[in-house]
Amino acid sequence: MAKAGPGRAHVCPVAAFQKMISGKYKLRIVWDLKDGPRRYGEIRSGLLRGAEGSAPITPRVLSRELKALAASGLIDRRDFGVVPPKVEYRLTRKGQSCVPVVAAIRDWGERHLGEPARAEAAE
Amino acid sequence: MAKAGPGRAHVCPVAAFQKMISGKYKLRIVWDLKDGPRRYGEIRSGLLRGAEGSAPITPRVLSRELKALAASGLIDRRDFGVVPPKVEYRLTRKGQSCVPVVAAIRDWGERHLGEPARAEAAE
DNA sequence: CAGCATCCTGCGTGATACTG
DNA sequence: CAGTATCACGCAGGATGCTG
């Protein structure tokens, strides 16, 4: 067997997903792109929502996240090759396919994480 | 979109979820507990699935994950107070409520991450 | 059996500065 | 505008040994 490549017999899909969307922004970026293509700066701006208290994402980190998402096949980079630079990012079919999953996550989060005062017993 | 009341920092639910299940094992633990209570050792053993190549989770890490999950209100710890020690972990109602989300994640992962399918047309 | 104590390392993330 | 280069740091997470 060629073990040079990723000879993953079968990893837990949950773990694989976790790894794929590891990081603070990947899921949010995917969610942000669900409505259509967005430019680098737009994504960056969109990431600021809900993060007024925290520092904005640095170019280095955003760049890294975008590359990782592209490497995962979730998004696609489109460089217009003009000056000033214009680059758009959009979801691939694969990326679009996981939007419902992100939606489910977001939905659950809104329902159970919106209000921290949830000192609920086990049953 | 509905505007929340005053004094509420608008934390992205997606980011909140991400943070809650941060780590390599939390989601898998939740998934593992979906069928009912499990003991510490059972969880540990269950985590070995698909991780034959990697090193097994250390007690320190597992303990931390379980405590974090308990702190998040997803699981509940039940100590039988006997010797030899017997401790069970089970999903809370909150934990059970997010099982479908994990199921969605797992489902998507099986569909799109099971095999390194390439040739992704950005379209 | 179900943990805790200590040490150590890689990586994710942020800050800052620079470029085509 | 859309990145890259460099530095620094906290923390997740693994190794190992011990305990009630």
pLDDT digits (tens, 9 = 90+) for A34-80: 999 999 999 999 998 877 777 889 999 999 999 999 999 999 999 99
Distance CA B75, CA B73 (A): 6
Which chain B residue has its CA at the smallest distance from A98's CA?
A: B108
Q: What is the pTM of this model?
A: 0.88
Instruction: Write down the pLDDT at residue B120.
Output: 44
Cβ contact B114–A10 (<8 Å)? yes
Q: Does A17 touch chain B (CB under 8 A)?
A: yes
CA to C1' distance (Å), from A84 to D13: 43
* Residue A9 with chain B: CB contacts under 8 Å: 50, 52
B23 touches strand D (CB under 7 A): yes
Say how far apart CA B10 and CA B24 lie, in whole Å: 26
A84 touches chain B (CB under 8 A): no
Residue B118 has pLDDT above 60, yes or no: no
Any A CB within 8 A of B70 CB: no
User: Do B108 and A97 contact (CB within 8 A), yes or no?
Assistant: yes
State percent of chain A over pLDDT 70. 85
Tokens of A19: 């790894």
Q: With an 8 Å Cβ cutoff, are B9 and A50 in contact?
A: yes
The residue among A102 and B8 whose pLDDT is bigger is A102
Give helix B99-112 / helix A99-112 axis angle, nearest 10°: 170
- Measured between alpha carbons, how far is A46 from B116 in angstroms, rounded to an integer? 31
What is the pLDDT at residue A116? 57
Q: Does A93 touch chain B (CB under 8 A)?
A: yes
Contact: A123, B10; criterion CB under 8 Å: no
Cα four-point dihedral sign B33, A116, A23, A36: positive
Supply the pLDDT for residue B122.
40
Averaged over B22-46, what is the pLDDT? 97
Any CB–CB contact under 8 A between A122 and chain B?
Answer: yes
- φ and ψ at residue A74, rounded to 5 degrees: -90, -35
Please tell me the predicted confidence (pLDDT) of residue B9: 58
| Cβ contact B73–A118 (<8 Å) | yes
- Taking CB atoms and an 8 Å cutoff, what residues of chain B touch A52? 9
pLDDT value for A114: 76
CA distances from B70 to A24, A41, A122, B92 (A): 22, 39, 10, 9
Weakest mean pLDDT among A20-29, A84-93, A106-115, B3-12: B3-12
